[in-house]
Structure 1
């Protein structure tokens, strides 16, 4: 429902939370570690062509002003949206990302072959503790 403000312009009432969100609103959303440290931001989503479901979120991590960033594919189910933070929280911390987490640079995108999801799942089963 729209209402008029003091200048006569129309403003929208705040929306109630919804189960669906546009991908362009997810991209750029911050990702936080359990302790509240900002790890990075959602760079893009990886969608399974057959099912239409989001399988992975590719998080940008490191770098400065977008330079030198690396990209870390994370299983979608390791993220939980936190309304208070306005971002996603994961149980994966910076140490787990800095060790041997699968990642790639902007100039070296991986081959998203059929074995890639298994490698990610294997890694993050260890890191989810």
Structure 2
């Protein structure tokens, strides 16, 4: 029996992870900051804890990775990307890591990231 041809990548409320990865991130001035490299999902609750912004470098070379609490991102349909109400200099000073040196992503690191953005760590 043939399966119906259903678009499983996106609905009006949900989006597949492979469509989030690579999505551009802009600041409130519509300046492109980088793109979503990946996101970190809590294994038990299924909630996204961080979107990891690939930022800096040239064409992805030499860039670093900046975990952003999911709640600081807003999807803008007109820009086709996420918007953060953060200046570039705020992100440059944020907790980050380079390729091959991922943090533990434990509760201590989570508190550090969320505290930096002025949010309470919910996990």
Q: Which has the larger radius of gyration?
A: 1
Q: Deviations over 1:69-115 (max 9, x none)?
A: 100000001000000000000111201012x2000000211111221
Match for residue 72 of structure 1 among 58, 63, 66: 66
Structure 1's consecutive aligned runs of 4 or more residues displaced over 3 angstroms after TM superposition are none
Distance 2:84 2:24 in 1: 11
Match for residue 121 of structure 1 among 86, 109, 114: 114
Partner of 1:92: 86
Distance 1:44 1:17 in 2: 20
Partner of 2:4: none
Unaligned runs of 5+ in 1: 1-15
Once the two structures are superposed, the pairs formed by residues 40-59 of structure 1 within 5 Å of their partners are: 40-59=34-53
Distance 1:65 1:95 in 2: 20
Q: Equivalent residue of 2:118, what SS? A: helix
Q: TM-score, normalised by structure 1?
A: 0.81
Unaligned runs of 5+ in 2: 1-9
Aligned residues: 110
Q: TM-score, normalised by structure 2?
A: 0.85
Distance 2:106 2:79 in 1: 34
Once the two structures are superposed, the pairs formed by residues 24-43 of structure 1 within 5 Å of their partners are: 24-43=18-37
Question: RMSD of aligned C-alpha atoms?
Answer: 1.5
Distance 2:23 2:52 in 1: 11
Match for residue 107 of structure 1 among 92, 100, 115: 100
